């Protein structure tokens, strides 16, 4: 049985569609209920819905053999997993944003609000810029508006959230997309099943 951690939400629904199209169907997952684990012994799959930011933890620790996680989470937490395939979906970018018209004063420590403290820390370290990191858990866009920070490091997809809050991107750090990941020992012991998934999903991402 292949244990698959899916990110709960819109991206997860699309990913599930891809897995089912690849032949790993699971009719019970479409029943309207609040269950979180579904299996189909005929196809040899067990799916579970988890918080998107937790997928890599399930996979790293072997509770799931494979899963789908955003590159943002992989960069931020550096889980000890294999990254097998770029699914070319859930595309967005990690960016620095600030209030419209913001001018950086290099003589002052830059206050950076973010959920992604490691990504932000590494980025500014590589630029040799002194920063004060303010870790927040959500609604990051509020920080510069209220004067809590000078800039934010966050995910930008359509740019609507920034625009509606009079903020704009000042630098792009890295493009982000959803990745198929695998537990390292599962990849050894269930290599055939996992390789089948990779092959099937790859044909869909190429198409
Ligand atoms: C992300 C991000 C922005 C928003 C950007 O939040 O933190 O707030 O999406 O999208 P946009 O460019 O299309 O407006 P998400 O919805 O993932 O929730 P979060 O507040 O938990 O980060």
pLDDT at 206: 77
Q: Which of 97, 49, 95 is nearest to 72 (CA)?
A: 95
Assess whether the C-beta atom of 181 lies below 6 angstroms from ligand 1: no
Cβ neighbours of residue 173 closer than 8 Å, sequence gap 6 or more: 93, 94, 95, 96, 119, 123, 153
In short, whether 158's Cβ falls inside 6 Å of ligand 1 is yes
Smallest CA separation from ligand 1 atom 19, residue: 138
Q: Indicate which atom in ligand 1 lies nearest the CA of residue 161.
A: 14
CA of 56 to the centre of ligand 1 (A): 19
The gap from C-alpha 168 to its chain's centroid, in whole angstroms, comes to: 22
Distance CA 122, CA 118 (A): 6
The model's pLDDT over 126-161, given as tens digits with 9 standing for 90+, comes to: 999 999 999 999 999 999 999 999 999 999 999 999
Res 33: pLDDT: 82
Give the number of the atom of ligand 1 that is nearest the alpha carbon of residue 139.
Answer: 20
Q: Is the CB of 60 under 6 A from ligand 1?
A: no
Per-residue pLDDT of the chain (207 residues; tens, 9 = 90+): 999 999 999 999 999 999 999 999 999 999 978 889 999 999 999 999 999 999 999 999 999 999 999 999 999 999 999 999 999 999 999 999 999 999 999 999 999 999 999 999 999 999 999 999 999 999 999 999 999 999 999 999 999 999 999 999 999 999 999 999 999 999 999 999 999 999 999 999 976
Q: Compute the distance from residue 72 Cα to the ligand 1 centre, in Å.
A: 12
């Amino acid at each position: 049985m292949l244990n698959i951690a899916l990110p709960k939400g819109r991206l997860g629904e699309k990913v599930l569609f891809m897995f089912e199209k690849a032949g790993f169907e699971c009719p019970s997952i479409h029943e309207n209920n609040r269950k979180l684990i579904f299996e189909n012994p005929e196809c040899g799959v067990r799916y579970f819905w988890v918080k998107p930011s937790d997928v890599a933890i399930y996979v790293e620790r072997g509770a799931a053999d494979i899963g789908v996680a955003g590159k943002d989470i992989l960069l931020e937490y550096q889980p000890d997993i294999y990254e097998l395939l770029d699914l070319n979906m859930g595309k967005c970018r990690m960016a620095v944003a600030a209030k419209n018209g913001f001018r950086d004063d290099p003589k002052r420590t830059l206050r950076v609000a973010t959920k992604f403290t490691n990504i932000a820390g590494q980025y500014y370290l590589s630029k040799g810029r002194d920063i004060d990191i303010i870790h927040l858990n959500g609604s990051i866009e509020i920080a510069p508006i209220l004067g809590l920070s000078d800039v934010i490091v966050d995910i930008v997809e359509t740019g609507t959230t920034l625009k509606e809050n009079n903020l704009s991107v000042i630098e792009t750090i890295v493009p982000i997309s959803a990745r198929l990941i695998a537990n390292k020992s599962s990849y050894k012991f269930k290599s055939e099943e996992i390789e089948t998934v990779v092959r099937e999903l790859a044909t869909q991402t190429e198409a």
